[in-house]
Amino acid sequence: MCSRCVRFTDEISGTHELCMVNRGSRTEIDVFPGMPLDNPLQGNVVDICPVGSLLDKDFLFKRRVWELKGTPSICPGCATGCAIRIDHAENTVYRLKPRFNPRVNQWWMCDEGRFGFKYVHDKKRIRSPLVRRGYETTTPNWKDIPEIVRFRLEEHVREKGAAKVVAMLSPFMACEEAWLLARFVREVAPQAALAIGPVPMEGEDQLFPVSAKDDAVRFTILKEKCPNRRGIEMVLQATGGDLLTFEQFVERSGKGDFSAAWIVGGYPKPWVDKNAAKIAENFELLILQDMFENELMAGAAIVLPSCAWVEREGSFVNAAGLVQVFERAIDPPHAARPDGQYLHEIAGFTGLYTGERVRELMAESLPAFAKAYTPPELPVHAH
């Protein structure tokens, strides 16, 4: 009867579904008749219940909490960039929990982010690299990938010229990965165009408590459903040269302006629309980096598996411009490699990729990356 959950629906979600019924020793927590607890922030009542009376059906009986390891991360569900903790064991993510961040999400996260990680363990993910030449398809060793990629791109630039090359960077990439890829593409093809991939938008921004305005808003779910549009734009602007929106990229590719492309997907949902599906046939060399198979794959000369954010490390820049770091929690599926690691090697660096090391290099041209924001640590209680 601490009433934390009731207060949550009154003060944070503003949806008022919960109440206390009866009196004295018969008092109970209940929903108002005909008002199920189904608001977009309802998962938070489980986190704040101090006695475990409210439980998460998604996690219930899946794993003992003391077997879980918590890794600090950032939710990629929308451009708000909530601080979260990834609870995992034996290379499996079991649940996501919010982490206190006074500048972004306070103590909360939304259900969309909390339960939206299941694609990470989807069996249909691309797991190993593929290389095609003519009718021959091979699965090369990772150690050969940097050489193969560089050779094929340099060969194309020699034959067709650097201005025929384009790279599309995804707003699901970490800033470090985007920087490494942009740097490599511009090194091999200095006149290459760089584009940002489609920025998924769904519905409208949702402000909480519902109907709150300005200073009274305590939590926001943004309609921009990707974590790093701003970070990718910062990297592209610092790189300079020909920069394109996704629409311009599709239009110019459709007109045949480019004959070689490096396309990065990594979206949790299908992202290739009808127009984008048609452009694959215009590329003589297509390098596709993605998490799931799509319409572009059949025309790709090189396919590199993208990893989910829980398998990578780096930084995202949220809609408010805050640079925030996320850590790697689990290993990629068998035969895949974290994107940062192979992009690091392709870009000509040796040794282990770490987000921190790449941010130091980036900070020379992008001072915002000299110091990422880290929220203060609060004691974590497993429950």
Enumerate binding residues for ligand SF4 (CB under 6 A).
Answer: 75, 77-78, 80-82, 105, 109-110, 112-113, 221
Of the pair 99, 164, the CB lying nearest ligand SF4 is at 99
User: Considering beta carbons, is residue 206 or 248 the nearer one to ligand SF4?
Assistant: 206
- Nearest by Cα to 234 from 316, 124, 130: 316
Smallest distance from ligand SF4 to CB 292, Å: 20
Q: Which is nearer to ligand SF4, 230 or 337 (CB)?
A: 230
**Residue 103 or 133 with smaller CB distance to ligand SF4:** 103
| Shortest Å distance, C-beta 184 to ligand SF4 | 30
Cβ distance to ligand SF4 smaller for residue 294 or 318: 318
Residue with smaller CB distance to ligand SF4, 110 or 181: 110
Shortest distance (Å) from residue 246 CB to ligand SF4: 21
CB of 321 to ligand SF4, least distance (A): 15
Q: Specify the residue, 245 or 374, whose C-beta has the smaller distance to ligand SF4.
A: 374
Token pair of 19 as six digits = 């109440």
Who's near 165: CB < 8 A, 6+ residues apart?
153, 156, 157, 185, 188, 189, 191, 192, 193, 258, 259, 260, 261, 262
- Residue 377 DSSP class: P
Q: How far apart are CA 167 and CA 343, in angstroms?
A: 13
Min CB(200)–ligand SF4 separation in Å? 12
**How far from the centroid of its chain's Cα atoms is residue 323's Cα?**
14
Q: For strands 165-169 and 193-196, give the pairing.
A: parallel
Rounded CA gap, 54 and 44, in Å?
10
Token readout for 59 is 């996690």
Maximum alpha-carbon separation in the chain: 84
Distance from C-alpha of 182 to C-alpha of 373, rounded to nearest angstrom:
24
Q: Where are the alpha helices (DSSP H) in 104-201?
A: 111-114, 145-160, 175-188
Alpha carbons 315 and 74: distance in angstroms, whole number? 9
Distance CA(287)–CA(265), nearest Å, equals 11
